[in-house]
Structure 1
Amino acid sequence: MAKAEYKVPPSLARSVLDYETPITTKSFSLGVIPVKVLLFWFVVFISTAAVIMTPPVKHSPVWLKIIIVLWVIGFAAYFGQWTKTKEMKFMQLPALFGYLQKQHRRISTRRDTAPYPFMQLVGIKSVDEDGYVRYLDGSVGYFYSVVGTASALLFSGDRGQIVDRVDSFWQKVETDTQWNFITTKESQAVFSQVANVERKNQNLVYRHPELTKLMEESLDILRYDVGGKFSSIHQYLTLHSPNDAALHTAQEILLSEVENSSAMYKQCRQLNGFEVNDLLRSIYGHKKK
């Protein structure tokens, strides 16, 4: 039986400032606070006291000193907040200043411009017809369209079976390959349905105006309504490996899971080159309003 809860171990890259210490007294408790937060507020108070005690602020009116202290406390309270990513807000200021530069916010994708900035953003060098993806750093990968079985309406027995299967699956996965899931909201793929209607239209023995009109209406509904207006959630899996050997091992683990059980992957299909480019276009492409 899989565990109900998993403890996330601390990162090996954690520094001394990332350690958390409890702040408690007999009357109240502030909880667990990282060392860097305590050091930040210590520097703020020392700096504020130094500013207040230094001319010309030292000889200024009391109301001006109060305004300066309140402004510093408010500024520090906002930029000293502890975010969900275990960082303080002021650490995001360098990225904000870099974002203000126009060349860091826009990438030209015209045919007469150099493709290297966009390639660095996406990280993909080329996509073969069979869906084999080559990255700029020499790594390789494949894209898959997957459908899972998890649902909030499952019975407890089925839910436990799925959780156990998922737990055993991830225990078999090697750590040298990245397994990334992509969830998109896009129009439904109606290529096979459109081809089926066109095939029926071509195989008609007797042509009748009303029957031909019915076929055209079916094609319009598939192309412009089902395949255009109606959106659904699609999920994709990417295998990103440093070399072909690691990628082949990851493929074997995935295919073995799909063939032996449907608890984790109800459907799994490898995307070809056209489908990979279409997926990337839906993520990075410009959508007309």
Structure 2
Amino acid sequence: MKSIKAIDFFSGAGGMTKGLQLAGIDVFAGVDFEPSCKDTYEKNNNARFINKSIVDITAKEIKSLFKDNISKGDYTMLAGCAPCQPYSMINTRKKQDDDRKTLLDEFRRIINGVKPHFVLMENVSRLNEENPYFFKFIDMLDKNGYKHEYKVLNAKDYGVAQNRKRLFLIATRVKKLNLSFDNIKAKKQVTLKDVISHLEPIKHNNPSKNDILHKSKELNDINLRRIQSTPLNGGLRTAWSDELKLNCHKNKQVFLDNYGRLAWDKLSSTITTKFNQYYSGRFGHPEQDRGSVINSVSTPNFS
């Protein structure tokens, strides 16, 4: 049976790589410009980390990597999740000249030059063909004879205790294959309690002595009082006295999830880069007076 050899662009610490490996795809390299990801990526995935910006990489380099790492008859794949912040709905400070917007176009350039057998792309759910970079991406696939499909999927439908919608695109040049999201079976929905209730209770200023990742960002006095005043198991800041409320929240009921607690019998909010900051969304623990911790969001079936 032919194997699929893959390179993961914008790999970060290797979340996409690990998922593909668990699915039986041999991801032998990840590419990212952030050097601090190297140790985590290589130790968790047994794959090479290439510390380089996609802007500085040529299709010739990628072809050479494949040549050195594949056997005759193997399929090739390029996977990538370009930074999503420029397209995200929660990014309220979008800049028209945000350089990260062009990274999707750089990924298109590499695919156009390498022409792998398979392409996998993931990004925020609002990305569509009205976006000029995504339109060019689809046009490139069409011109190179790829069969492709894209669809918004929600992690909650696949055994993850998180409400996380993302756009996924799959494409192939292999004519005999019929790739379709219809082939994916949904899984039983799980709740927050199912996946993190077993974790050791800790305080915001007292991390676990057994797990270095089981620690919460320490709260200042006012935020400690705020979370203590928030009802357990899904409570919101609407229960606070006026002295605890920010001026911008006193007269307007906006972004109610901010400073909220998660609920045991529901899903987690979408995890963002600032999930460990209690005030950045509904990231308060359902019962303990603290925010979220790294090892809970990295727990299987949570992210």
What range describes the TM-score normalised by the shorter chain of this pair? under 0.3
Query: Which has the higher relative contact order, 1 or 2, with Cα contacts under 8 A spaced 6 or more apart?
Result: 1
Structure with max Cα Rg: 1
Q: What TM-score do you get using the length of structure 2 for normalisation? A: 0.22
Q: Which is helix-richer, 1 or 2? A: 1
Q: What TM-score do you get using the length of structure 1 for normalisation? A: 0.23
